[in-house]
Structures are given as C-alpha cells and as structure tokens.
Amino acid sequence: MSIPARRVRTLFDEAAIARRNAEMAEEIRAAEPENLLVVAVLKGSFMFAADLLRALHRVGLAPQVEFVHLSSYRTATVSSGQVEILRDVQSEVRGRDVLLVDDILESGRTVVFAKDLLMARGAKRVLTAVLLEKPGKRAVTIDADFVGFTCPDVFVVGYGMDAAHAYRQLPFVGVVDYGSPDPDLFGGA
C-alpha cells in the first residue's frame, strides 16, 4: 500500500537545521562529556543523529555510537503510551556519559524510558538532545538538555520522521498539506 503523494510544507529548512546542529554541537562540547557514547533512538532520529555526530566531530568530540530502537507509535500518528524495545543497546554504558539523541520530545515517554534504562545500567550521566520539542504535549516531566527547535502542535514529517513509513527521506522538517493549511502555521503560504 502506498500513500498518495501530497505536498509537504517546510517548517524547518535544511539550512536552519544545519545551523542549529552546529550550535548544538558547541553546546554539547561545553557540557564537557567524558568517554561519550551517543545513543540514537531509531528510527526517527537517524538523519538528525548522523548530522549531529558530524557536527560533534567538527568541534573536536569523538563519541562512540550506538542505537536503540524504541516505539510507541508503530503505524499510528498518536503515541500508544506504551514504549517497546525493538532493538537494544549493545555497548556497555556503565560509568560513561551518554548523549541520548531523539527526533522529537512530545509526550516525553520515550525519552524518559530510554534515559531511565541507561541510568539503571550505570551510565554516569545521560544528556538528552532532541531535534524538536512540543512543550505543551508532555505526559511526563522531562526537559531535554539540548533542543533544536520548538515545534508547533502539528504532525511533522521529513528529516527521518515519517507518516506510516513515508517522507523520511526529505532533507527538511515539514507538514503534509491535506488541502486546508492554516496560514499562521505556514507563514501565510
């Protein structure tokens, strides 16, 4: 089954994302992480994590990289509230600084689940970096240490994020236009 092609309106473009990744890398470096392990939450964060890792390299950090695949959405557009581990971290985290990288902080359940899991495994410190945050959507108490952008309360796609497995390849973050865009959301478009 394929999703019909629809226009995607840009919310955060490539240039803005690249600038913010560079700024976040400087912020992370300033936190003076030691023996850094970056843990990217799959699948949505893969593009953000890759670009952020390159930015970290440019500021002189050389973290190891791991992945955890968590899901609370599956094919839905609303979180189920239950986080499942689909693929676990393989590396030892005990005594290390960990940077947990996720695409979006919305309800907070996924980030809290992953952070608690890594701390329970003995991480020295778990810092969190998210590309997007929707502060009005929290179901749990958490603030990310590093935030790319504050996002309006819309379902976003692109830059690794999907709608039923479509749109991940887009180099920007956008909103699918279903025919009646809110002019305030799209800057009058």
What pLDDT, in 10s, does the model give residues 64-87? Answer: 999 999 877 555 555 556 888 999
How many Cα atoms sit within 13 Å of 167 on the Cβ side?
Answer: 23
For residue 88, being part of any structural domain is answered with yes
Is pLDDT of 18 > 50? yes
Other beta carbons within 10 angstroms of residue 8's beta carbon come to: 19
| Residue-range definition of the domain harbouring residue 57 | 8-73+83-173
| Other residues' Cβ atoms within 10 Å of the Cβ of residue 166 | 16
Domain-located, residue 1? no
In-domain check, residue 188: no
Q: What average pLDDT score do residues 134-163 get? A: 94
The pLDDT assigned to 83 comes to 86
Residue 114 lies in a domain: yes
Residue 169 is classified by DSSP as T
Per the structure, how many domains does the chain have?
1
For all residues of the chain together, what is the average pLDDT? 89
pLDDT tens digit sequence for 19-30: 999 999 999 999
Phi then psi for 27, rounded to 5 degrees?
A: -65, -40
pLDDT of residue 80: 57
- Within 10 Å of residue 32's Cβ, how many Cβ atoms? 8
